[in-house]
Amino acid sequence: MSETRDTLTITDNRTGRTYELPVEDGSIRAMDLRQIKVADDDFGLLTYDPGFKNTASCRSSICFIDGDVGILRYRGYPIEQLAESSSFLEVAYLIIHGELPTPEQHEQWVYEITHHTFIHENIKQFMDGFHHDAHPMGMLVSTVGALSTFYPEAKGTGAETRHMQIVRLIAKFPTLAAFAYRHSIGMRYAYPDNDLSFAGNFLNMMWKTTELKYEPDPVLERAMDVLLILHADHEQNCSTTTMRVIGSSDADPYSASAGACAALYGRKHGGANEAVLNMLQDIGSVDKVAEAVAAAKAGEYRLMGFGHRVYKNYDPRAKIVRELAHEVFDITGKNPLIDIAVELERIALEDEYFVSRKLYPNVDFYSGIIYQAMGFPVSMFPVLFAMGRIPGWLAHWQEHVLDEEQAISRPRQLYTGADERDYVPLSLR
């Protein structure tokens, strides 16, 4: 008895031929289209998909998003539960290994991360070479890439080698991030403190001045941990795709991570929450929100932080950040921009213009306000994003390395240039 399978029947009107393509997981394989030809010497049919808006480049078990409903899960666990009950390092373990750790595994994982936070002194000297006003994200891109020169064994893909590089990268990211900030403001570097938690140690390296022992505020420490959790992974976004593409050439994970950081550096990706802050400051006060909304509906003004490439519902991360903001403000004092943001959200969620277009607040709408209240300058926003996202990048890098279906990334193109022509010497032109 033959097994029934889903198929797609295509009739090529150019030739009259009919093709039957298998459908699996709601998709067809792009290479199956190559059999559709008008002649034997025809290359075959290609798909044209600028921005990869409808192309699945891999199979992944790491992150699930249902943008229509507003669902985000890491390895099957809802983001709301992880943000409420877990820690960043536990979530990092989950994302990397696929399962929540046992108490023993968690203890060992935290120990390893904690004891690999220090960086080689030559990296510190390398950072000293940057101009005094160098952007922290530019410094992070460079120093993450430079780590590859300290660990030449990192190009190996064995399990132990992969594990070692994953531990090093997660551990050293906060150190590089904090050192980049300290350099940008001309302060001496504050070294890691192994007595503190992952988030607490980062705050120590950011803010420690003359005190012998830095003690982070537990509310801000927890807020930092939650913000890192919310950014830990988000499926095949620009930077994660960059991580996979670079990794597909068998580049080491430090070089691939540097490339992912560079992708995140772009204002359309890691700079989105800065754009929200600029917008809120531009609006200026609550009584001008309605005017800004009207201008946006007329096409005269762009509201930042609304809508998402994937989410066509309320970004679940935005709900968590909005609630977290008030806990932070109890410690830091209220950021006046929050009132503008809340009023802007209220009007937008009731306005048919935004509702019909499914323009809901995304995670960037509130995250910048919290970062600013905690004392982080705008230049650090993409750095904080990268620090949270590194477990996700590494999980996707490892998944790609272990996926036997994958090969070096090499998209096709539709050539639109000149046909063959003869060279004309410079003297005759």
- Whether the CB-CB separation of 48 and 40 falls below 8 Å is answered with no
How many Å apart are CA 231 and CA 167, to the nearest integer? 18
List the catalytic residue out of 32, 193, 269, 351: 269
pLDDT of residue 3: 56
- Whether the CB-CB separation of 128 and 235 falls below 8 Å is answered with no
In this structure, which long-range contacts are made by residues 182-186, counting pairs with CB atoms below 8 Å and at least 24 apart in sequence? 182/206, 183/127, 183/128, 183/130, 183/132, 183/134, 183/136, 183/139, 184/132, 184/133, 184/134, 184/135, 184/136, 184/139, 184/379, 186/132
Q: Residues 104, 393, 396, CA angle at the centre, nearest 5°?
A: 85
Instruction: Tell me if the pTM is above 0.85.
Output: yes
137: exposed, middle or buried (Cβ count in 10 Å: 0-12, 13-18, 19+): buried
* Angle between the N-to-C axes of helices 289-297 and 337-350, in degrees from 0 to 180, rounded to the nearest 10: 50
List the catalytic residue out of 225, 231, 364, 396: 364
**In 68-197, where does DSSP find H-type helix?**
79-85, 88-97, 103-114, 121-128, 136-146, 159-184
pLDDT of residue 4: 61
How many Å apart are CA 401 and CA 18, to the nearest integer? 37
User: Same CATH fold, 272-373 and 77-265+378-402?
Assistant: no
pLDDT of residue 1: 41
DSSP state of 385: H
What is the dotted CATH code of the domain comprising 77-265+378-402? Answer: 1.10.580.10
Q: Which residue has the tokens 């190009």?
A: 155
Q: Which residue has the tokens 């006046």?
A: 336
How many Å apart are CA 169 and CA 398, to the nearest integer? 13
* DSSP letters spanning 291-348: HHHHHHHTTSS--TTB--SS-SS--HHHHHHHHHHHHHHHHH---THHHHHHHHHHHH
pLDDT of residue 114: 97
b/e per residue, 299-334, with b = 16+ CB within 10 A? eeeebbbbbbebbbebbbbbbbbbebbeebeeebee
Count Cα atoms within 13 angstroms, Cβ side, for 426: 0
How many Å apart are CA 411 and CA 147, to the nearest integer? 29
**Which segments of the chain have a pLDDT < 70?**
1-4
- What is the largest distance, in Å, between two alpha-carbon atoms of the chain? 80
Q: Which helix (H) or strand (E) holds 282?
A: helix 272-283
Q: Is 115 a catalytic residue?
A: no
How many Å apart are CA 233 and CA 248, to the nearest integer? 19
Q: Residues 332, 337, 343, CA angle at the centre, nearest 5°?
A: 125
* 321 phi, psi to nearest 5 deg: -65, -40
- What is the separation, in whole angstroms, between the first and last Cα of the chain? 72
The structural domains of the chain, with segments of one domain joined by +, span: 77-265+378-402, 272-373
- Tell me the CA distances in angstroms from 145 to 69, 106, 135, 374, one per residue in order: 38, 28, 16, 29
List the catalytic residue out of 183, 231, 308, 400: 308
Superfamily of structural domain 272-373 = Cytochrome P450-Terp, domain 2 (1.10.230.10)
Q: Is 250 a catalytic residue?
A: no
* DSSP letters spanning 108-121: HHHHHHHTT----H
Q: Is 40 a catalytic residue?
A: no
